[in-house]
Structure 1
Amino acid sequence: MQYIQPRPSSIVAALYTARDLGVDVAILHGPSGCSFKHARLLEEDGMRVLTTSLADNEFIFGGHDPLVRVLRHAEEEFSPHRIAVVGTCVAMIIGEDLESAIHDAGVTTPTIAVDIHAGFRENIDGVLATLEPAAAAGWISDDELERQRYHLGKANEVERLRGAASRSYIEPSRGDLKHIAAKRLVELADEGARGVAVMNAKKETAYMFADELIGLHDACPDAAITYLANLEDRGLPKVREDAARILAGMRERGVDPELIGALDEYGANGTAVGERIRELAPDFALIVGVPHAVPPEYMKGIECFSVTNGPRQVEPLREMGHRHVMVEIDLHPKTLGVREIVESEFGAVLRSMR
């Protein structure tokens, strides 16, 4: 696939994966502006992101010495438990040896080198470039590495088949008006229709998507609705911690969902969710997070409400037969650094119905 729309960066994917591995300090070996926005957002999530601030002089003579200096400063200043040195396009072009700089810095903090740049078409290359040295360092097991490799592949497959990567360009859309969809959803529940509410969300986005299930329960506490969520206890350290917090938060609010899959299994989870929906045979379904992971054959004859955080996912979902498609705008920045469930727009609208 040749994309003519912007796609996620493999450098940014490496940074997020370092965070999920419990890295305290990530060092971007490149210009100060590289991945600036995401670096700042990740700092809100508790991981310090430093840069070697390479400029024209280092482009010519190399950035080994600046990287050594920043590594030593990071250890002395922050006393981290783990460090990740993350490459950039500049580091790749000038042929920087990240491992050599780590060795010469003499730091005692466990540190991995992530040889990555933005020249990959798929952002999962950045994830794997981080997980592989993490496995070599003993931070994760070989079995977990293979598990991650499998689920990354399934996530990519879903995006190519039915997601934002299914064509070269997709017009972004804000989706349907939330109050109109919420009114219809509540009407169905009040009429006694049987429903299912599914969260199949990616990692920390679940802090907001979970609220939409809670919002439906708040609005329709006695309705015949079965709740499902991908909050099983598997994955990298932060992913498992997030799942535990979100599940506890949902239970405190009166929603005790059936568990199907883990937060990093959203791409492979669609068939299991679909089979459960088929067993329940509902009249309507609310699917939030990555709704396009559920194959369309499972949704035939069901009035489907779906919520995504991707404006380019609206059109593919409509083509799949989802009658009501909504977008939670700016969801990702709102869920970085949080440790409890965040109110969603659609959840708030559902609650306002009462």
Structure 2
Amino acid sequence: MGKPLSVDEATLRKRAEPMKRLIRQGDRSDQVADVQARLRALGYMVDDDSGDFGASTQLALKTFQQHRGLIADGIVGPDSWDQLVEAGWRLGDRVLYMKYPAFRGDDVQTLQNRLNALGFDAGMEDGILGVDTDRAVKSFQREYGVAEDGIVGPHTTIALTGLRIDRPGTAAELREDLRRAEHGGIHQALIAIDPGHGADDSGGLSEGLSEADLCWDLASRLAERLTRFGARVRFTRPETENPDSTTRAKRANQISADLFISLHFNAHSKPSAEGSSTYYWRTSRGGLQLAELIQDELTRLGLKDCRSHPGSFAILRETRMPAVLVEPAYLTSPEDAKRLDDPEFRTAVADSLTSAIRRYFESK
């Protein structure tokens, strides 16, 4: 017997469609109207005419992006579109079950949170219904007398939402702690390094500096230093490739890496913007700790502290281990760019990242 559908196939296909172009201020289209409708449904004020991307739509979008841990640029790109779609789902809106491609959404994240809080290990609360969540659903159904079919329909949803929760779940956090404790230090730890961009995607450009080249250079320096301390290092891509975020995360997951470090450099329309920032998946305690350690080390180099932030980027969400996206400096800052042009400074950045990673593995 096939799995039930909560919405018609056409709607599912529409929701799954990838972004074909960026949507930004000044655009007029049905896609803009769709974005506006989603923002309004989420409680954001949009006063522009339907289909007209004006200042009100941009302000609402920027506020949404800030709330979701995205870059608040007021442009609807793939990450923002995915988050708009996923934010519209509430637990009970649709029937959830294990399938490919997996269900994604805030309803799935709520499901994972409830299961973890009740003591069922649903894995990382990433809003993606995978094997861990499916297993936890069936365990819950078995224990609470609901048909053990892995389908989160009305009966399972009512059972889940009707139970009192005394404390938040810690299953994923415990796994992170146990993995770190197994090493007791950086020796033999397997670290996935993800150099941003690559191949025909040069990333940001400023003062003759290519973000892709800088990412590869920094990744190579970091790998050399980590290896000296006994760590095992793997890159998510060769120098001539530019895989998408899902592929990069999948490669790290396939080797069961202990840590994931994604390297990028920031950019801004204002040259005065400068400094270092780090991002981590919002429910990852290990990711938060590592991000703050990296920030601490980078600011010792004299870089402005732009702080650590919870992020909703796919590269952080889809990795199964503590993951941090690092932006050590701004390519568009004359001061930062001047420092990045110096190989000795890039070596110092690699040393700082290495120190932070060592501190992470040595902490309790």
The TM-score normalised by the length of structure 1 is 0.30
Greater RCO, 1 or 2 (C-alpha within 8 Å, sep 6+): 1
Which protein has the bigger helix share? 1
Question: If the length of structure 2 is used for normalisation, what is the TM-score?
Answer: 0.29
